[in-house]
Amino acid sequence: MLNLSPVWKRRLLTLLVVVVVVGAVLGFTVWYKFFRQVDDGPFATAEERFLYGSIDAENTAGLPYWIWVALPQVFPDLLPGNGQGGYRAFGVPWEQGHEMPTGFTKKIIGFPRVANNCAICHTTTYRTRADEAPKIVAAGPNHTFNVQAMLRFLTACAADPRFNADTLLAVITQQTKLSFIDKLAYRYLLIPRTRDALLQRSGQLAWMNRPHWPDWGVGRDDPMNLTKYFLTNLPWDSSVGNADFPSIWNIGLREGKNLNWGGETPAPISVIIDSALGLQADPKTVVETSKWLLSYLTAKRAPKYPFPVDPILAAKGKILYDAQCASCHATGSPRVGTVIPIQEIGTDPNRLDTWTQEAADKANAAVAKLGIQRVGLIKTNGYQAVPLDGIWIRGPYLHNGSVANLRELLEPVENRSKVFYRGYDVYDPVNVGFDTQSADAIRLGFKFDIGIKGNGNQGHLYGTTLSAEDKSALIEYMKTIGPAEGE
């Protein structure tokens, strides 16, 4: 022990107190400004939580809220050129009056951050007429959303010289009063780090930006290639597996069955976990979040067909359905939820071929390494026969969304549209599917061409030889396939 005079002892003690206090204030400030977690709930309903609730992806994948707000305003030239502004240009469903589009979460981790949840790909909008507000259906396929365009937009912003503190803060400070500390944080930390993170993400997505590579378009992604390239270190291959976002309501029907179009995931909870991880949900909370999602989705039902149905015609159609379709599609039938061999179903094989046993093994190992216990991915040789609840709103049809509507699905391949427009949400009750050919569908939609790799509309020829009357009856019945809400 040093032998100090009492004066020096007092001085040292004062110094120590000052250091501790300053340190504590500094530490608290840093914690408060960057790490403090504020729960984004509670939500008024389970549906609200599904649509807007955090799955804890904000820490890894979150954008600082004000950067998220500013980007479409700073870079309108990088938006898809469909004449729509802001994030709506990507076709996101957005309840009028609601702060965020569906599938977007806002959570404070030190500062407000924006990430996505399952609703980003699993919310449907539809309109019965062009002149009404879109209705929002949770857990349906998001047939209007162009996720690839959004990913490309974000990375293009980051690569643009305008992505700098001066430009972004000029826009941000027109909308909110940032404190001095927040301004510094945005200028020296959040803006540069967000730019770096987005550029890094563009590296991870480079495989989908290869020249002349088929676009996902709206309502689709390349699910198993995404899984493969994110979870494993396998080299890029030439496979293209663009596939429709599926509906995920009444997921209890799938218990003990195969999920994903190719049936690669044998358990609902595993699909939910893997999808949440794909959105960069926190591995520490992902199992708990997924369990809640499973319970919500098990209880959730398809929406009712919103137009009149002819009961007599539908009854006639049910007889045809029971004879022609039920063995693969009806609940409790032997083949529903099982994989139908590709040789039998005959639809476009590209999606199936994106996945391999090697990819399954490596992906399972990677998830296990995160400490997550789940039933693993497998390799199959076909496409699964899906339950058809709410099939009326799940168009376009087949795993790759290559058939515009149910009427065309019952036509032989040569009569199915070779080019049509996806992503317009006005419903077509005559053909039973979304409007894919009107002027507005063309202006706002994504041009789908069956000639592009992975977009083949062949196969699933069941019912195509029925008489015109029988087809109409069958379609009438299919409008009613549930269980729907309230049934």
Partner 1 sequence: MTKPGRTIVLIAEAVILVFALLYFGMRFTSNSAVEYSNSLEHFKYGSTGGEILAGIPYSVWMTLPRIFNLPGGRYESFGFIYEAGKDLPIGVSKRRYQGIDRVSFNCAICHYGSVRDTPDSKPVLIAGMPSNTVDLRAFYQFLFDAAKDQRFSAALVLSEDKAMGIHEDFINRQIIRYYAVMAMQSFMITYSQRLNFIMSEPPFGPGRIDTFSPAKALLNFPTSPDKMPENERIGTTDFPSIWNQRKREGMWLHWDGNNNDVAERNRSAAYGTGAYPPTLDRPNMQRIMNWLLDEARPPKYPYPINAALAARGKTVYDQLCDGCHGPDGVNFAPNYKELGKVTPIADIGTDRHRLDSYTLPLAMNQSLLYAGTKDPNERFRHFRKTYGYANMPLDGIWLRSPYLHNGSVPTLHDLFEASANRPKTFYRGDDVYDPIRVGFKSNSPERNGRKLFLLETTCAVSKDCEGNGNQGHEGKNYGTELPQADKDALVEYLKTF
Write the CA distances from 185 to 32, 35, 64, integer angstroms: 13, 13, 11
- Binding of partner 1 at residue 179 (CB under 8 A)? no
**Segment 20 to 59, residues that bind partner 1, using CB under 8 A:** none
- Binding of partner 1 at residue 209 (CB under 8 A)? no
Task: Round to whole Å and give the CA distance between 242 and 245.
Answer: 10
- Among 217, 241, 242, 248, residue whose Cα is nearest residue 393: 248
- Binding of partner 1 at residue 73 (CB under 8 A)? yes
- Binding of partner 1 at residue 128 (CB under 8 A)? no
**Segment 154 to 173, residues that bind partner 1, using CB under 8 A:** 173
DSSP state of 482: S
Tokens 């699964």 identify what position? 384
- Binding of partner 1 at residue 214 (CB under 8 A)? no
- Binding of partner 1 at residue 132 (CB under 8 A)? yes
What is the Cα gyration radius of the chain? Answer: 26
Q: Are 340 and 385 in contact (CB under 8 A)?
A: yes
Task: Kindly indicate which of the ranges 95-103, 155-163, 326-334, 452-460 contains the residues binding partner 1, using the contact rule CB under 8 A.
Answer: 95-103
Q: Which of 33, 88, 183, 335 binds partner 1 (CB under 8 A)?
A: 88
DSSP state of 199: H
Task: Round to whole Å and give the CA distance between 305 and 480.
Answer: 7
- Binding of partner 1 at residue 308 (CB under 8 A)? no
Give least dist CB 101 to partner 1, A: 7
Give least dist CB 394 to partner 1, A: 23
Task: Kindly indicate which of the ranges 13-21, 126-134, 188-196, 386-394 contains the residues binding partner 1, using the contact rule CB under 8 A.
Answer: 126-134
Nearer to partner 1, 101 or 268 (CB): 101
Provide the token pair at 197.
């993170």
Q: Which of 40, 47, 61, 98 binds partner 1 (CB under 8 A)?
A: 98
Give least dist CB 373 to partner 1, A: 40
Could you tell me where the beta strands, DSSP code E, fall in 346-432? 382-384, 419-422, 427-428
Give least dist CB 404 to partner 1, A: 23
Task: Round to whole Å and give the CA distance between 67 and 74.
Answer: 10
3-state SS, residue 331 = coil
Q: Which of 128, 176, 285, 327 binds partner 1 (CB under 8 A)?
A: 176
- Binding of partner 1 at residue 423 (CB under 8 A)? no
Q: How far apart are the first and last CA of the chain?
A: 81
Task: Kindly indicate which of the ranges 74-82, 331-339, 454-462, 479-487 contains the residues binding partner 1, using the contact rule CB under 8 A.
Answer: 74-82
Give least dist CB 123 to partner 1, A: 14
Give least dist CB 39 to partner 1, A: 16
Q: Which of 2, 7, 39, 99 binds partner 1 (CB under 8 A)?
A: 99
Task: Round to whole Å and give the CA distance between 221 and 215.
Answer: 9
- Among 221, 102, 105, 90, residue whose Cα is nearest residue 145: 90
Task: Kindly indicate which of the ranges 4-12, 88-96, 378-386, 430-438 contains the residues binding partner 1, using the contact rule CB under 8 A.
Answer: 88-96
- Binding of partner 1 at residue 79 (CB under 8 A)? yes
Task: Round to whole Å and give the CA distance between 214 and 450.
Answer: 11
Task: Round to whole Å and give the CA distance between 252 and 138.
Answer: 16
**DSSP run (H or E) holding 6:** helix 6-34
Q: Are 209 and 149 in contact (CB under 8 A)?
A: no
Nearer to partner 1, 1 or 439 (CB): 439
Give least dist CB 185 to partner 1, A: 15
Give least dist CB 162 to partner 1, A: 12
- Binding of partner 1 at residue 69 (CB under 8 A)? yes
Contacts of 29 (CB under 8 A, 6+ apart): 181
- Binding of partner 1 at residue 97 (CB under 8 A)? yes
Task: Round to whole Å and give the CA distance between 215 and 218.
Answer: 9
Q: Which of 3, 45, 96, 343 binds partner 1 (CB under 8 A)?
A: 96
3-state SS, residue 249 = coil
Q: Which of 23, 27, 41, 85 binds partner 1 (CB under 8 A)?
A: 85
Footprint on this chain of partner 1 (rule: CB under 8 A): 66, 69, 72-74, 76-77, 79, 81-89, 94, 96-99, 101, 131-134, 173-177, 443
